[in-house]
């Protein structure tokens, strides 16, 4: 990656941060969504505490994170106006645009996932046996969700019914990633040795790298259209 592309990526990421800081409502809305969803889950299970098993605790948390990712990243490209996209087309390379979007959305997901986990643990209780492994799982999952949904959002933005297309395209990739994430998080909850989770860690890491590489290679063809 040349220095020119790196400079473009830095500039585009700073642009995203500046716009987010000016608007604020998008990130605030996502935080409100996470907090309200966790609180509703707390009210639902407060009357039936014997049903909140570790498996339910784990699955419920990752479903909340997944829907948060979809809501946070779905508008990555659709919210960009046509004039702004044309301006980007004349100034930046498509590789810089997709990589900057992935990095920014990954940072947003890491922030939302971290704050969501803190609030979720505070309200629903902390059932994690190995915090280090769970944090690694949270890190890989956040980057994976962000990279997959960013690429799919870029593809879906070229269609009329982008929301439906995004759901159809992301489902085959997100589902196995979600299942692998839940399994790895369950190992962290049980406090198992890291050697037991080698396959899950390598699989999630491989998916992240493959999706980012494909985004870098294929997005220029999408951008030209």
Q: Look at residue 85 in the predicted model and tell me its pLDDT.
A: 63
Q: Rounded to two decimals, what is the model's pTM?
A: 0.85
pLDDT tens for the chain, residues 1 to 225: 566 677 777 887 787 777 777 766 667 778 888 888 888 888 877 756 566 788 888 888 898 888 888 887 877 766 666 666 666 666 777 788 888 888 988 998 899 899 889 888 888 888 788 888 999 999 999 999 999 888 888 777 766 656 667 777 778 888 888 889 999 999 888 888 888 888 889 989 998 899 889 888 888 777 766
Give the pLDDT of residue 2: 61
Sign of CA dihedral 74, 77, 78, 79: positive
């Amino acid at each position: 990656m040349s220095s020119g592309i790196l400079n473009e990526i830095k500039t585009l990421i700073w642009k995203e941060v500046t716009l987010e800081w000016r608007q604020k409502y998008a990130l605030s809305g996502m935080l409100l969504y996470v907090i309200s969803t966790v609180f509703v889950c707390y009210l639902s299970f407060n009357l039936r505490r014997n049903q909140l098993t570790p498996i339910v605790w784990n699955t419920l948390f990752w479903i909340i994170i997944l829907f948060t990712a979809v809501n946070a990243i779905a508008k990555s490209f659709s919210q960009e106006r046509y004039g702004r996209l044309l301006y980007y087309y004349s100034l930046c390379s498509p590789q810089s645009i997709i990589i900057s979007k992935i990095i920014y959305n990954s940072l947003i997901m890491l922030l939302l996932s971290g704050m969501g986990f803190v609030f979720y643990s505070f309200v629903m209780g902390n059932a994690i046996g190995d915090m280090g492994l769970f944090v690694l799982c949270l890190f890989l999952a956040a980057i994976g969700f962000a990279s997959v949904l960013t690429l799919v959002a870029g593809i879906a933005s070229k269609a009329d019914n982008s929301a439906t297309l995004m759901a159809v395209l992301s489902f085959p990739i997100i589902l196995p990633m979600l299942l692998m994430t839940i399994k790895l998080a369950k190992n962290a909850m049980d406090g198992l040795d890291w050697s037991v989770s080698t396959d899950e860690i390598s699989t999630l890491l491989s998916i992240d790298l493959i999706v980012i590489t494909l985004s870098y290679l294929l997005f220029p063809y999408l951008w030209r259209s």
